[in-house]
Every structure is written in structure tokens, then in C-alpha cells.
Amino acid sequence: MGIVLGIDLGTTNSCMARVDPATGHAQVLPNREGERTTPSVVSFDASGKVTVGTAARRQGALNPRNTFFGVKRLIGRRFSDPAVQQLRRLLPYEVVADPAGNAAVRVHGQLLSPAEVSSHVLRYLKESAEAHLGEPVDGAVITVPAYFDEVQRQETKNAGQRAGLTVHRLLNEPTAAMLACRFDESHPENIAVFDLGGGTFDISLLHVEDEVVQVLATCGDNFLGGDNFDEIVVEALRRIFLKQTGLDLASDPAALWRLKEAAESTKRALSEVEQTTVDMPFLAQGAEGPLHLSIPSFPRSLFENLVGKELERLRGPCDQVLQDADLKVGDIHRVILVGGMTRMPAVRARAEQYLGRPGERTVNPDEAVALGAALEADIVAGTSDEQPQVLLLDVLSRSLGVRTEGGRFSVLIPRNTTIPARETKVFATTFDHQTHVDIEVYQGEASTVDGNRYLGELQLAGLPAAPGGTVRVAVDFTIDADGILHVTAREPATGRKAEARLRPPTASSP
């Protein structure tokens, strides 16, 4: 097998690593520009040329409608998803529905799926790694938020395949981060991984004992991250500018892009210092010439007040994950901080407040996930002579089941089940002479299917005509190590079988 990379395909930034065969240590590989992380930004010019990373980010101000960032928040989602609708209003590029009703983006009049956009980031990483190593790269272990559902996982895999990578495994980000941190396997420990990145918040509780790592529970908010903090600062800067100049930048995408960059650097600066300045000359053109934004003092306390609601949103998932794992704050032995946003002092304070311990940052929070993925990649590639040190057991983030009579949701595999997993349930036909059954698959926690997400369906036909309730159909759910579901339905008497690997919903789905 050729080289297999560990890739953290992030909302804001991506990072890749691999285990150096000479030293046996995981190391971050630089991109073509020599950077250790790559902005997950893709820009398309009118001639169809694609630019990725920092160069693409620079294009943003000039070409805001065709420069895409944060598409991970759209991947595998329906256009009608409230989260997509909310995001649409904030983004300088166009988010539309594809013919099947999935969220897509429009590039120079053409529709692209978020997975296609992400595949450009992955291809850039692959090619950078090949240039750096001088050898072809053919595979990857790609990380995903623990909270990603079936469709989001499948689409991430598709993005990898489009980039010419064999995706050997999808790994939950918190699990990867934990792998990157050394831990003492000789004592049983409960470890909390608190990961606040650019677009998502994940909190996971892991139990480590006898070289086995088990994810006890995972929770999160896949719409809370540094981007939200940036957007709030953008809004504040826009208001200040409006007050100072009387000009509203709301409909000026190029100026908004610059505000976004300024907001992010203000936020970063305030992690280090108590106050900073904002200076943006020539931000817009007024009736009497160029207009500037100048804020001589932007204190940390102001920033913390502005994002108070976002900070408060960290609490719910922390409480929930403890409840799901049936642990108390006092049962946590270690807290690992991951994601660039954990550099913000107020975020660290919240993590400590909600989890009862100060967080550790033994590994660079931007790189931990990619380093952990590289360790896993080394195991799947079989390049390491050593036996795997740890056996990974992950858990399912949403319950999976089927529709039954009256639109009720019958769970086959409950959330937080350790995966890979398999479960079979036997259902009976409802009507006399019923010769086929439709098995509709959903995920979620609501008791009726209306409250859950439709994943797909399969039909088992050719059943023997018999009175209702007498023909039995065994429905089997198998979840592989990537969290992807395979469904089969079988009628034991005749041996008739139907199977499906669930794909994103099609136009006919609700």
C-alpha cells in the first residue's frame, strides 16, 4: 500500500500529517506554501481555474461570490435545513438547492455540491504531500465531527474519492485528538475532549482502560464555532462603521469580506492582549471619497460581552454528554482542549467551569486531530511494524431505525451504541396478501418519524401472499467502522433479500 495520510478536513482550516517511517512519530506535512494548516477555502475564477488555501482566501475580497469557505457546514444537508437557511443570509456566496433539494453552491452559474468544493481542498493537500514527500499518496484517514450524521459522513467520503484518495476510514475528530495526546494506559481514566473549531463544537467523553479506548458519549453543536464569533464581530464593526460614516456595508460583499478578516484577527489578538485596535483604511467609497474604519481601542471585555450567548451555548452539550455517559463532573480525570478557539481565555474558562478541571493543551490544538488521524492511518496502512497500541471503539451519534405503523419510529440501533454494530429486528406484514414491504430508514431521537431525518428506503418485493401479520421480514442494520449504514431486509421463508447502502436523499424524499 502507498502512503496513507491523516487529514483533518476542517471547517475553517485543514491539516495533514503522517507517521514518519524513519522515526515512527506522527508529523504535520506542510502545504505547497510551506504552511502547516491550509485554509479550507476554494476560489474559482471565470476561466475555471481553481485556487485553494491562503491564495484563495486572498481572492475572497476580489471575488467573494465565487470564493467558498465553511462548506463543511453545508455538506450532506438539505437546502431546507434551518441551519442552511440561517447560514445563507450570512454568506457572501450563493447557497441554492440542487434538483434533489440538497444544499449546493453556485459557481459562475454552475451548481457544485459542498463535497465537490471540499474535494478541491483534499486534492490540494494530496498534491502538496506528494510534492513534499516525492512519492504518490493514494489513501487517507479523514476526520469528521463526532456529530456528523450518515449523509454527512458519506459525502465526506465522496469528497475524498473525488480527490483521488482511497478513504480507508473516517475517524471522529475527538477520538483522533485523544490519540494524539499521550495518555497513561495503565490507569483507567475518563477523558473529556473539548473541541471548539471554526465551525463546530464537539464534546466527547472517552474511557481509557487496558489499552482500549471507548467513546462513552459524544455531544455537540455542529453550528457553533469560531465563525460565529467572527460574524458577531463583523456585525459590530459594520454598526460602528455605519455610525461613523453613515454608510451601511451590508450589501457590499468585498467590504464584508475584509471585515471578516479584520474580525478574525481582532479575535485572535484578544486571546493574547487585553485590548487591540482596528484600522481599516479605504474600506469603502463614499460620496466624498474613500471611507476608513478606525477603532482605537477594542477591549477583550467588549468582545466577551458580544459573544456571551455563544459562550453560554457551550454549557448544554457539556451537561448533556455527562448525562449520556452517566458520569458526574468529579468523574472526569482529564480535559483535552482542541480547536483554535480554545486559545480564547473565556472559552478555556467555560470548559473548566462546565467540566470541573483546567484543560490541557499538550498538543498544538490546530494539529492534534491530524496527528491522531495519521496514527490511525499508519495502522490501516500497516506500515508500522508494531501492533496497534490501542483498539478504537467509537459510538454512534444518532439513533437509527425504521418507520412503523402510524409514522412511529422504531429504533434498531440506539445512539451511543459502540460501533461497528449490527442489529436485526423482525417485523410482520400488516395487510392480507401484502406482497411487498417498504422499509423507510430514519435517524434521530424523536418518537415519530416526522421529527427525525429521512435517510432512504428499500423495498422487499415478492413476498408470499398470506394473511396480514403472518409473513415475517427481518431487517438488519450494520454500521461499519466509518459510521456508514448498510441495510438488508430478508424474508426467511423464501430467502428473498433486498439491500441498500444508504445514500443521500433523492428528489422524491420529504
Interacting residue ranges for ligand AMP, rule: CB under 6 A: 10-13, 197-198, 226-227, 264, 267-268, 271, 339-341, 343-344, 366
Residue 439 in contact with residue 485, Cβ under 8 Å? no
Alpha-carbon gap, residue 483 to 481, rounded angstroms: 5
Three-state secondary structure call for residue 302: helix
The SS3 call for residue 21 is coil
Cβ atoms of residues 68 and 117 within 8 Å? yes
Beta bridge partners of 42: 52, 68
Residue with the shortest CB distance to ligand AMP: 226
Contact indicator for 29, 377 with CB cutoff of 8 Å: no
Estimate to the nearest angstrom the gap between the alpha carbon of 241 and the chain centroid. Answer: 34
Give least dist CB 318 to ligand AMP, A. Answer: 18
Strand partners, 400: 413, 443
How far are the Cα atoms of 17, 62, 206, 445 from residue 327, in angstroms, in the given order?
33, 51, 11, 21
Q: Measure the CA–CA gap between 327 and 321, rounded to whole angstroms.
A: 9
3-state SS, 169-210, equals EEEEHHHHHHHHCCCCCCCCEEEEEEEECCCCEEEEEEEEEC
By beta-carbon proximity to ligand AMP, the closer residue of 70 and 504 is 70
Joined grid coordinates for residue 466: 398470506
- Taking the CA atoms of residue 239, residue 262, residue 89 and residue 306 in that order, the dihedral angle to the nearest 10 degrees is -60
Q: How far is the CB of 491 from ligand AMP (least distance, A)?
A: 48
- Residue 181 CA to residue 26 CA, distance in Å, equals 11
Which residue shows C-alpha cell 471503539?
393
- Tell me the C-alpha distance between 58 and 479, whole Å: 41
C-beta closer to ligand AMP: residue 197 or 359: 197
Task: State in angstroms the smallest separation of the CB of 218 from ligand AMP.
Answer: 17
Torsion of CA 221, 227, 229, 231, to 10 degrees: -120
Nearest distance from C-beta of residue 197 to ligand AMP, angstroms: 3
Please say whether the beta carbons of 476 and 487 come within 8 A: yes
62 to 247, 301, 437: CA distances (angstroms):
20, 33, 55
Question: Given phi > 0 = left and psi -120 to 50 = alpha, else beta, which region is 163?
Answer: alpha
Q: Which residue has the cell 465563525?
A: 227
Q: Judged by CB, which is closer to ligand AMP: 55, or 466? A: 55
Report the nearest approach of ligand AMP to the CB of residue 112 (Å). Answer: 22
Q: Which is nearer to ligand AMP, 155 or 227 (CB)?
A: 227
Question: Residue 247 and residue 284: Cα distance in Å, rounded?
Answer: 9
Identity of the residue, 40 or 478, whose beta carbon is nearer to ligand AMP in the bound complex: 40
**Residues pairing with 143 in the sheet:** 8, 171
Say if CB 156 and CB 9 are below 8 A apart: yes
13: phi then psi, degrees, rounded to nearest 5: -130, 150
Query: Least distance (Å) from ligand AMP to the CB of residue 156?
Result: 15
Residues designated as active site: 8, 72, 173, 195
Least distance CB 269 / ligand AMP (angstroms): 8
Phi, psi dihedral angles at 475 (to 5 degrees): -105, 125
Give the shortest CB-326-to-ligand AMP separation in angstroms: 29
Closest CB 68 distance from ligand AMP, rounded Å: 16
Which CB sits closer to ligand AMP, 267 or 403? Answer: 267
